[in-house]
């Protein structure tokens, strides 16, 4: 796109019907994103190791009651959770469509001889397999899917679990998503970063589509050597707690509990996320409506 197209862009969130997502599966973005996942400077793509260790402790002791379990990690990234869960004796599978993350996770699992298998697939279309004790999906990614896909992911997770198995979702609160959509516009420069290996400027703006409860973030990337301005869009769907409960129930889950964080206690980071844990019911009702 060019500057004229930016000037003429739609600024009315009620007319923004696209459900955009940054292409994390693009090999170049994936390669650059891996750096962000592994960075110990901030909790951006993944949390830093110190916090992940606390989360893994809670999952092992509280959620899995120290019992060796079969775990499916959706959107596993470079396997920072599943590899540590495997060190506690669990058998893990991870699915992610980011090629660099899956390669990193697989290499580490082989090097450390971990009981982990990683698959490079899209969780909307992947076959999840069966007989899992836990399906986990952390760090808010669930809300970046369109509601139909979110329902599909829950239904597939339900199918993948043993009776009595659990799903663990870490999701953003409705207010956190609304705040995301109401962020002020900012711009920043990078010598090289997530969007390019070349120097670039990134202009970002956010919108809150109140009617559909969606936060829309737009990133306009202006590279020094490229006349075309690249636009990336990321949408996040907001759900009230009651809507999460409906989604879970529609997928067949029962015993739906909420926790303030992945350590079980009040979030120190004030990141606006919370945790939902539910069990597989025996009645396999998967009709999904919110």
Ligand X SMILES: C[S@@+](CC[C@H](N)C(=O)[O-])C[C@H]1O[C@@H](n2cnc3c(N)ncnc32)[C@H](O)[C@@H]1O
Query: Would you tell me which residues interact with ligand X (CB under 6 A)?
Result: 24, 37, 45-46, 75-77, 80, 95-98, 101, 122-124, 138-139, 141
Q: CB of residue 206 vs ligand X: minimum separation in angstroms?
A: 18
Q: CB of residue 64 vs ligand X: minimum separation in angstroms?
A: 17
Q: Measured between alpha carbons, how far is 226 from 267 in angstroms, rounded to an integer? A: 42
**Cβ proximity to ligand X, 139 vs 200, nearer residue:** 139
Task: List the one residue out of 172, 133, 132, 123 whose CA is nearest residue 276.
Answer: 172
Backbone torsions φ then ψ of 230, nearest 5 degrees: -90, 135
**Cβ proximity to ligand X, 99 vs 264, nearer residue:** 99
**Cβ proximity to ligand X, 91 vs 199, nearer residue:** 91
Q: CB of residue 281 vs ligand X: minimum separation in angstroms?
A: 26
**Cβ proximity to ligand X, 46 vs 206, nearer residue:** 46
Q: CB of residue 103 vs ligand X: minimum separation in angstroms?
A: 12
Q: CB of residue 14 vs ligand X: minimum separation in angstroms?
A: 26
Q: What is the CA radius of gyration of the chain?
A: 19
Query: Is the CB of residue 153 less than 8 Å from the CB of residue 142?
Result: yes
Q: CB of residue 45 vs ligand X: minimum separation in angstroms?
A: 5
**Cβ proximity to ligand X, 16 vs 76, nearer residue:** 76
**Cβ proximity to ligand X, 76 vs 235, nearer residue:** 76
Handedness of CA 93, 98, 99, 103 (dihedral sign): negative
Q: Measured between alpha carbons, how far is 144 from 141 in angstroms, rounded to an integer? A: 5
């Amino acid at each position: 796109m060019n500057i004229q197209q930016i000037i003429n862009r739609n600024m009315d969130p009620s007319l923004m019907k696209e459900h955009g997502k940054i292409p994390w599966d693009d090999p170049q973005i994936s390669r650059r994103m891996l750096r962000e996942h592994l960075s110990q400077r901030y909790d951006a793509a993944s949390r830093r190791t110190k916090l992940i260790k606390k989360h893994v402790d809670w999952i092992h002791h509280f959620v899995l009651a120290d019992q060796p379990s079969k775990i499916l990690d959706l959107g596993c990234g470079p396997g920072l959770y599943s590899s540590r869960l495997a060190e506690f004796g669990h058998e893990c599978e991870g699915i992610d469509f980011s090629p660099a993350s899956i390669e990193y996770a697989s290499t580490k699992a082989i090097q450390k001889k971990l009981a982990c298998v990683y698959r490079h697939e899209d969780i909307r279309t992947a076959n999840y397999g069966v007989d899992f004790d836990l399906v986990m999906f952390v760090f808010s990614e669930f809300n970046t899917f369109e509601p139909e896909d979110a329902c599909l992911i829950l239904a597939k997770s339900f199918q993948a679990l043993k009776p009595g198995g659990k799903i663990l979702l870490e999701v953003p609160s409705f207010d956190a998503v609304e705040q995301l959509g109401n962020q002020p516009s900012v711009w920043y420069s990078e010598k090289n970063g997530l969007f390019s290996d070349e120097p670039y400027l990134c202009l970002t703006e956010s919108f809150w589509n109140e009617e559909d409860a969606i936060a829309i973030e737009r990133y306009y990337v202006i590279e020094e050597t490229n006349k075309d301005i690249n636009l990336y869009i990321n949408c996040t769907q907001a759900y009230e707690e009651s809507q999460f409960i409906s989604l879970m129930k529609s997928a067949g889950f029962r015993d739906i509990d909420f926790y303030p964080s992945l350590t079980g206690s009040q979030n120190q980071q004030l990141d606006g996320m919370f945790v939902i844990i539910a069990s597989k019911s025996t009645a396999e009702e998967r009709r999904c409506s919110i």
